[in-house]
Amino acid sequence: AQTVTQSQPEMSVQEAETVTLSCTYDTSESDYYLFWYKQPPSRQMILVIRQEAYKQQNATENRFSVNFQKAAKSFSLKISDSQLGDAAMYFCAYRANSNYQLIWGAGTKLIIKP
């Protein structure tokens, strides 16, 4: 069975510093997508970044970047220059190309200290 694990229930970082959120997954598929979603206090789920497994280059979106290690089945999210607005729950999700279903981790609560 495919699973997604986020081992850090909560992380905190000083404003303007860098923080890395961890995610590991288990799959026997070779073609899949990985996602990081952000859920602020409003509770709307917002896509942060996505990575195609067939691409070796790590995805980046402004201050957000990933470290995708396919062999280790690891997909961490790095947030640079943390801002107060980054405070939220962050969810890692996986989807095989052969399937419609997103498999979700339990989430990491990110606290930004001013």
Partner 1 sequence: DGGITQSPKYLFRKEGQNVTLSCEQNLNHDAMYWYRQDPGQGLRLIYYSQIVNDFQKGDIAEGYSVSREKKESFPLTVTSAQKNPTAFYLCASSISRGRETQYFGPGTRLLVL
Max intra-chain CA distance, the chain: 44
Contact with partner 1 (CB under 8 A): which of 43, 56, 57, 114?
Answer: 43
Contact between 59 and partner 1 per CB under 8 A: no
Contact with partner 1 (CB under 8 A): which of 2, 58, 67, 104?
Answer: 104
Tokens of 56: 């070796």
| Distance in Å, CB of 73 to partner 1, minimum | 17
Contact between 35 and partner 1 per CB under 8 A: yes
Report d(CA 78, CA 11) in Å as an integer.
12
Taking a C-beta distance cutoff of 8 angstroms, is the pair 29, 97 a contact? yes
- Binding segment (CB under 8 A) for partner 1, from list 17-25, 55-63, 67-75, 93-101: 93-101
The length of the chain in residues reads 114
